[in-house]
Homo-oligomer: A and B are copies of this chain.
Amino acid sequence: MLCKRWTRRKEARPQEILEAALGLFVSKGFAATKMTDIAKAAGVTSGTPYIYFAGKEEIFEAVMREILLPQLTIGHELLASFQGNSADLLKAMLKTWWQAMGESQLSAFPKLMIAEGSNFPQIAKIYQEEFVTPGNKILRHILERGMASGEFKVPDIDYAIEVISSPIIVAMLMKHSLINCLPDTLEPERFLNTTIDLLLNGLLASPKDQAHE
């Protein structure tokens, strides 16, 4: 309190505040996170966040812009560089997303948006337009690639995109909800593999399965 050992680079402050805020939003939700807690977690006092941000909502938005949105580039990079068939690309993409988001604090974002989205339409809009839609575009690209090569047969591409992304989204939600949690805890590896297997091969037993494996 009285002694700050080393004078902080002031330019780091906003980033520190955003990281503190993300951690708290993740663990307690937006409404239950007090500004004072964010300040404390960032090592400053209650008034300081207001120097950099207009209020709690703006911090939420900034967290999204500064921390979440940059993750999309990982998907684009994978898409641009991937060599191989489309099934493997889809697998790789889902795994990449899980690693980038599911295994980090960012997995809380779907929950946050679902919980608070309707209270903050402005933020929901940004999330939708700058994260969900681009993400869906990547998926669409993969599906079209697979269809073009004759590898995939996609019944209804707009909706298939939603179906394909659902399991990953649900897995992220489960990490932050107490609920839905199978026996006890989700094993991501098994979950991802099962997801990919089902999405590629379906439930129906058939010659294809034998052929494929």
Which of A2-10, A14-22, A145-153 forms contacts with chain B?
A145-153
Q: Are A203 and B200 in contact (CB under 8 A)?
A: yes
Q: Are B118 and A177 in contact (CB under 8 A)?
A: yes
Segment 122-147 of A: residues with Cβ below 8 Å from B: 124-125, 127-128, 132, 136, 143, 146
Q: Which residue of B lies closest to A180 (CB)?
A: B132
Segment 17-49 of A: residues with Cβ below 8 Å from B: 27-29, 31-32
Q: A119 CA to B177 CA in the complex, in Å?
A: 9
Q: Are B198 and A155 in contact (CB under 8 A)?
A: yes
Q: Per-residue CB proximity of A178-201 to B under 8 Å, as 1/0?
A: 111111001100110111011111
Q: A212 CA to B208 CA in the complex, in Å?
A: 11
Given contact pairs A128-B181, A177-B114, A179-B113, A206 touches B212 in the complex (Cβ within 8 A): yes
Given contact pairs A117-B179, A127-B179, A194-B156, A202 touches B201 in the complex (Cβ within 8 A): yes
Which of A76-84, A98-106, A166-174 forms contacts with chain B?
A166-174
Which of A54-62, A67-75, A157-165 forms contacts with chain B?
A157-165
Q: Which residue of B lies closest to A195 (CB)?
A: B163
CB of A94, distance to nearest CB on chain B (Å): 12
CB of A130, distance to nearest CB on chain B (Å): 12
Q: A170 CA to B113 CA in the complex, in Å?
A: 13
A66 an interface residue at 8 Å Cβ cutoff?
A: no
A87 an interface residue at 8 Å Cβ cutoff?
A: yes
Given contact pairs A114-B111, A179-B114, A208 touches B200 in the complex (Cβ within 8 A): no
Query: Which of B150, B177, B181, B199 makes the CB contact (< 8 A) with A198?
Result: B199
Q: Are A201 and B199 in contact (CB under 8 A)?
A: no
**Which A residues contact B (CB, under 8 angstroms)?**
27-29, 31-32, 87, 90, 111, 113-119, 121, 124-125, 127-128, 132, 136, 143, 146, 150-156, 158-167, 169-171, 173-174, 176-183, 186-187, 190-191, 193-195, 197-209, 211-212
